[in-house]
Amino acid sequence: MQKVKIFLALFILIVLIGACSSQNNGNSNSQSSEPIKLGLLLPLTGEAASWGQNSLAGATLAANEINSQGGIGGRKIELVAEDDKCSADSVSAIQKLINVDQVTGVIGPICSASGGPALPIAESNGVPVVIVAASAPKLTEGEYIFRVYPSDSFQGKEAANFIYNTLGKKKIAIVYVKNDWGEGIKNVFAPTFRQLGGEVIYEDGVLQTDKDFKTLITKVKESGAEALYLPVYPAGGVSALKQIKEMNLNIPVIGGDAFDGEEFFKSDYAEDTIYLVARVNSPEDFKAKIKNVKGFENLEVAIAAPLAYDALRVMTEAIKNTGSTNKAGIKEALKQTSINGVSTSKIEFDSVGDLKQVAYDVKVVRSKKSVYR
């Protein structure tokens, strides 16, 4: 009888050890009922807030759809959103997501100004990130960083070709915001424009917080430039255009994709401004779904919504394919991504985590609306 008791005790001990081991090795999401936390690093306030709110809506829709189908391995998706204000505030935001909230992965950011300082923190901590729209070329240099929006290495080339070949302008002035996004575009645009045969006759950078452009506008006017390329953020762009009109600088102004938000095109000074933006699909049935998400019924749906929707789907598909929340495994699964997206028909990443296929559209502001040119 004593031997039987010893045998039963050993058997129970072995079973308990095996159970604990299976719970701790992270090989299956079904072994835990805890939600899978995913961080959202977005500009929920400030000059890019419409992009941030659209991203929050898109990510929420994707999470709701996944959760309504039972989650991943029985585990629901829980979103934790932090406001990066399109600035270096992203550092404290991503540190909270990683160290306090202990998220499995991060969706975002929107702005390269926040991505530049924040993403190296995610990389050094081995936390996978799917960027929604921050487009500075260097942001995807890490092993853990991927992006569902085209790099500015494409935007700079497209802008140069459009201004030189379509507008027929051979002398250009460039005023850009001095951060990862503006400098990334400028560093591609300027050499491409020169290679086409054009001349960059004036070039200067401004801070994201600058609002007085009068001296720069005077210099642009004196330079003899035939057009002004203005890759700055919405607040700076509105201030610049107001002063451009006041000072009668009567040349075409061409902006970057940061102008594709209601903060910009609903202003009183954006009329006739041209800008380039990556081609992103936003079907009517998708917009209707967004407006059915609680809290976003009155949202003016813009391209950040389908981008964030796809970014979250890419991340959750990688988690599903990994079979766990092991971050290194998710990173490897992200490299193999191949899904049909809403924002673009096929989402696949190249060797540096950028989209393999991209296209751009040219838009112009008419009566406080953005329309295709």
Arithmetic mean of pLDDT, 89-103: 98
Q: What is the separation, in whole angstroms, between the first and last Cα of the chain? A: 89
Tens-place pLDDT, residues 136-182? 999 999 999 999 999 988 999 999 999 999 999 999 999 999 988 99
Tens-place pLDDT, residues 132-143? 999 999 999 999
Tens-place pLDDT, residues 262-303? 889 899 999 999 999 999 999 999 999 999 999 999 999 999
Residue 308: inside a domain: yes
**Do both 223 and 368 map to the same domain?**
yes
Residue 315: helix, strand or coil by DSSP? helix
| Secondary structure letter of residue 149 according to DSSP | S
Percent of the chain whose predicted confidence (pLDDT) is above 70: 92
Instruction: Read off the pLDDT band of 31 (50, 70, 90).
Output: low
In this prediction, residue 145 carries a pLDDT of: 98
How many domains does the chain divide into?
2
Please identify which residue in the block is written with the tokens 């941030």. 52
**Do both 68 and 48 map to the same domain?**
yes
**Is the pLDDT reported for residue 23 higher than 70?**
no
**Is the pLDDT reported for residue 44 higher than 90?**
yes
In this prediction, residue 130 carries a pLDDT of: 98
Tens-place pLDDT, residues 296-339? 999 999 999 999 999 999 999 999 999 999 999 999 999 999 99
Residue 136: inside a domain: yes
**Do both 271 and 293 map to the same domain?**
no
**Do both 256 and 215 map to the same domain?**
yes
Write phi, then psi, for 53 (nearest 5 degrees): -65, -40
Q: To the nearest whole number, what is the mean pLDDT of the chain?
A: 92
Arithmetic mean of pLDDT, 115-120: 97
d(C-alpha 348, C-alpha 357), whole Å: 8
At 171, which CATH number? 3.40.50.2300
Tens-place pLDDT, residues 182-191? 999 999 999 9
In this prediction, residue 8 carries a pLDDT of: 44
**Do both 179 and 242 map to the same domain?**
yes
Closest to 300 in 3D by CA, of 311, 291, 292: 291
Alpha helices, H only, the chain: 2-24, 49-68, 90-95, 112-124, 152-161, 180-196, 214-223, 234-246, 262-265, 284-291, 304-322, 327-335
In this prediction, residue 261 carries a pLDDT of: 86
Residue 51: inside a domain: yes
Residue 193: inside a domain: yes
Residue 196: inside a domain: yes
Residue 24: inside a domain: no
Please identify which residue in the block is written with the tokens 């059915």. 292
Residue 15: inside a domain: no
**Do both 228 and 299 map to the same domain?**
no
Percent of the chain whose predicted confidence (pLDDT) is above 90: 88
Write phi, then psi, for 327 (nearest 5 degrees): -65, -40
**Do both 182 and 237 map to the same domain?**
yes
Q: Specify which residues 200 forms β-bridges with.
A: 172
**Do both 56 and 164 map to the same domain?**
no
**Do both 245 and 101 map to the same domain?**
no
Q: Contact, 238 vs 270, CB < 8 A?
A: yes
Q: Contact, 287 vs 38, CB < 8 A?
A: no
Structural domain harbouring 61: 32-149+281-342
Please identify which residue in the block is written with the tokens 């696949």. 348
Arithmetic mean of pLDDT, 24-38: 65
Closest to 134 in 3D by CA, of 181, 70, 68: 181
In this prediction, residue 32 carries a pLDDT of: 72
**Do both 95 and 123 map to the same domain?**
yes
**Do both 36 and 176 map to the same domain?**
no
Arithmetic mean of pLDDT, 79-94: 97
- Per the document, the length of the chain is 373
Residue 13: inside a domain: no
The sign of the dihedral angle between the CA atoms of 322, 335, 155, 371 is: negative
Tens-place pLDDT, residues 225-244? 999 999 999 999 999 999 99
Instruction: Read off the pLDDT band of 24 (50, 70, 90).
Output: very low
**Do both 161 and 256 map to the same domain?**
yes
Arithmetic mean of pLDDT, 84-113: 97
